[in-house]
Homo-oligomer: A and B are copies of this chain.
Amino acid sequence: MRDALVAAAFRLFLERGYEQTTVDDIVALAGVGRRSFFRYFPSKEDVVFPDHERCLADMTAFLAAGTDDEPVRRVCDAARLVLLMYAENPAFSVQRYRLTRQVPGLRAYELSVVWRYERALAGYLRARYAGLRDGTLRADVIAAAVVAAHNNALRSWLRSDGQGDAEAAVDHALEHVRAAFGAETVPAVTDGPDDVVVIVSRRGAPLWRVVQELEAALGRG
C-alpha cells in the first residue's frame, strides 16, 4: 500500500511535476481512497521522503547505543548512515534530488529533515562535551560542519547521476571536518617514547596549511 502510493506519486511527479499533481491524482492512479493516503503519509511532502523517518530512528539508536573515545568520529559514522540510505536506491535518490531542487516546498521539507539529523548529532556531542567550556557551541558547530560536509559530497554524487564512489567522496569530505576540528584523542604510541613533532612556520603563512602540515607530521594525513 505504502509502496504503491510512493510509486504512483513519483510516476505522476516525474510526468507532470510535483505541484501539478494533486493527492486525488495519486490515489486515483494507485486505486485507493484519498483518506488512506493521509493514513500512511502525514502530508503530501512525506511521500517524497518515505524512508527518512526510519533512517532518523536508526541514527538516534546508533548514537544512543554507545560512546566513542572520539566523539567526532562517532558522529561522522552516524552521518554515513544517511549516505547508506541514499545509496541503497541510487536511481530513486537521483530522481528525488532533481525534484527537491526545483520545488521550493520540497526543499523546505528536506531542510527540516536535515535539521533533525543535525540536532541528533548535536545532541550526542552536547552530552559528550557537557561541562567543557563552550561545549554546546562546539557541539553545534561540529554537527553543522559534519552535515554540511556530508551533504556536499552527497549532492555532488547525486548531481553526477549516481556515478562514482559515493562512500569514498563522503569519507573524504568528513575527513576534512575531522582535520579542522581535530581528533581529541589518537591511539597512544606504545612502542616508543613520547615522540615530538616540530613545525616551523613563517609568520603570515596560511594557518590551515600549517594545520595540514601538522596532520601530515602527526601521521593523520
Contact = CB atoms under 8 A, between A and B. Distances in A.
Interface residues of A, number: 60
Given A140-B149, A186-B203, 8 more contacts: A111-B111, A111-B115, A181-B208, A182-B209, A189-B203, A203-B218, A207-B218, A210-B214
A107 interface: yes
A23 B104 CA distance: 22
Interface in A190-221: 194-204, 206-211, 214-215, 218-220
Given A112-B107, A211-B211, A201 B218 contact: yes
A9 interface: no
Given A145-B144, A176-B137, A182 B199 contact: no
A186 to B, nearest CB: 5
8 contacts: A108-B112, A137-B176, A140-B148, A145-B148, A184-B206, A194-B202, A195-B202, A197-B200
B182 A206 contact: yes
A63 to B, nearest CB: 18
Interface in A111-146: 111-112, 115, 134, 136-138, 140-141, 143-145
